[in-house]
Amino acid sequence: MVHYVDSEVSPLRTVLLHRPGHELARLTPRNNDSLLFDGIPWVGRAQEEHDAFASALRERGVEVLYLGDLLAETLAIPQARAELTEAVLDDRRLGDTLRAGVGRYLADQDPRRLADVLMSGLAHGELKPGPGGLVYELMEPNDFVIDPLPNLLFTRDSSVWVRDRVAVTSLAMPARRRETTLTRAIYRYHPRFAGVDLLYDPTLEHVEGGDVLVLAPQVLAIGVGERTTPAGAERLARRVFGEGLAHTILVVPIAQERATMHLDTVCTMVDVDAVVIYPNAADSLRAYTVTADADGEPHAGPSRPFLEAAAAAMGIDRLRTIETGLDPVTAEREQWDDGNNTLAIAPRLCVAYERNVETNAQLERAGIEVVRISGSELGSGRGGPRCMSCPIERAPLT
């Protein structure tokens, strides 16, 4: 099996997606904020939109792997099953009696159903027979015994491939932390990934995949903001240099707010030398160029404008920019709706949400073919085609 990613745009061969399931049906107006959704998606329509996204990729020769399938297959392996069960029971809110009851419930499920429970959670009322005990008695039927993971949809964030190595990330938001117990188990135990060593793991400083861009072979950009911390960027840089996976890493501070939670919400690549970028970011983003010193330790030079630093690191004269929207208001609206968050299937061919009419028109004027998908429901989680995909293999650029 080949796993290899040294570019954001070279032909995409294999991608990891997650078809949203019952975990989206757990969202209510009371919990959607803490579960990082801006609305309550219509689940059936979100699934249709996601199926259309997957078909658009398959029609263009991309192999689509589903996280739910890989997880169910992984859970057929006793050691993986034991590890994942233990991880979900390691929750101080449960207490001993309820923990034992949930443990018995999980032990009764076949791998497919167990995968569903680990992804979509478990409500108190579904735990039958009820194990009793103080904690159980004090809960309401709709309280979660196991929290749902509605953001699994955004497979970009919980792992990231750099050449032939995978970094299982360290997610910053409590609502997402448990996602990486699942991705880590898949990469560790699923036969498809036998022999793959983990470059990063969830016990380390926070790094999320939406902040990591493979600008060119041997060149990464890491956004630092609401999710990825400077310490996370430093740790990942040390590991990447240590393994010889990059010669330069640009560390890019981004505003610490929801609209710009990851670097890929303001900038994604659409050609080997072109990005679609939010105009405000194009003007204001700066980057620290980080290289390895004689001891292999990350060393940061002074900061300079991001676009300039990127072109220099990539060894090109200029990184071409295509801007979101046309006017500032449209740009702000379309940035919010993930107009910048495109997924390149090949150089000058990308998937984008259809609703970002002006940004897509700008892309086409610049010679980029746009495969439009609808995302009225998917977008309520604030993520676009790039967030919803984790490339596992792209044709090598080097």
Ligand X SMILES: NC(=[NH2+])NCCC[C@H](N)C(=O)O
Distance CA 80, CA 173 (A): 24
Helix residue ranges, H only, the chain = 43-59, 67-75, 78-89, 95-107, 111-120, 134-138, 179-189, 230-242, 279-284, 306-314, 328-336, 357-365
Which of the residues 95 through 154 are near ligand X (CB under 6 A)? Answer: 151, 154
Shortest reach from residue 198's CB to ligand X, in Å: 20
Shortest reach from residue 97's CB to ligand X, in Å: 33
Q: What is the Cβ-side half-sphere exposure of residue 257, based on CA atoms within 13 angstroms? A: 4
Shortest reach from residue 36's CB to ligand X, in Å: 4
Which of 261, 272, 274, 331 forms a contact with ligand X (CB under 6 A)? 261
Which of 81, 156, 165, 355 forms a contact with ligand X (CB under 6 A)? 156
CB atoms within 10 A of CB 235: 18
3 state SS of 62: coil
Catalytic positions: 387
Shortest reach from residue 382's CB to ligand X, in Å: 5
Which residue lies nearer to ligand X by CB, 123 or 173? 173
Q: State the number of binding residues for ligand X (CB under 6 A).
A: 16
φ, ψ of residue 331 to 5 degrees: the values are: -60, -45
Q: How far is CA 151 from the centre of its chain?
A: 9
Q: Pick the stretch among 2-10, 40-48, 258-266, 344-352 that binds ligand X (CB under 6 A).
A: 258-266
Give residues with Cβ within 8 angstroms of 312, minimum separation 6.
Answer: 289
CA distances from 354 to 9, 191, 395 (A): 20, 37, 27
Distance CA 189, CA 80 (A): 7
3 state SS of 133: coil
Q: Pick the stretch among 94-102, 246-254, 256-264, 364-372 that binds ligand X (CB under 6 A).
A: 256-264
CA distances from 192 to 11, 75, 158, 169, 221 (A): 21, 14, 18, 20, 28
Which residue lies nearer to ligand X by CB, 131 or 379? 379
Task: Please report whether residue 157 would count as binding ligand X according to CB under 6 A.
Answer: yes
Task: Please report whether residue 382 would count as binding ligand X according to CB under 6 A.
Answer: yes
Task: Please report whether residue 36 would count as binding ligand X according to CB under 6 A.
Answer: yes
x/- mask, ligand X, residues 204-223, rule CB under 6 A, reads ------x-------------
Q: How far is CA 296 from the centre of its chain?
A: 28
Which residue lies nearer to ligand X by CB, 73 or 264? 264
Which of 264, 273, 334, 393 forms a contact with ligand X (CB under 6 A)? 264
CB atoms within 10 A of CB 142: 13
Q: Pick the stretch among 61-69, 78-86, 118-126, 257-265 that binds ligand X (CB under 6 A).
A: 257-265
Shortest reach from residue 77's CB to ligand X, in Å: 29
Which of 262, 278, 287, 371 forms a contact with ligand X (CB under 6 A)? 262
Which residue lies nearer to ligand X by CB, 154 or 288? 154
Distance CA 255, CA 251 (A): 13
Which residue lies nearer to ligand X by CB, 157 or 337? 157
Shortest reach from residue 209's CB to ligand X, in Å: 6
Task: Catalog residues that contact ligand X under the rule CB under 6 A.
Answer: 36, 151, 154, 156-157, 173, 176, 210, 261-262, 264-265, 381-383, 387
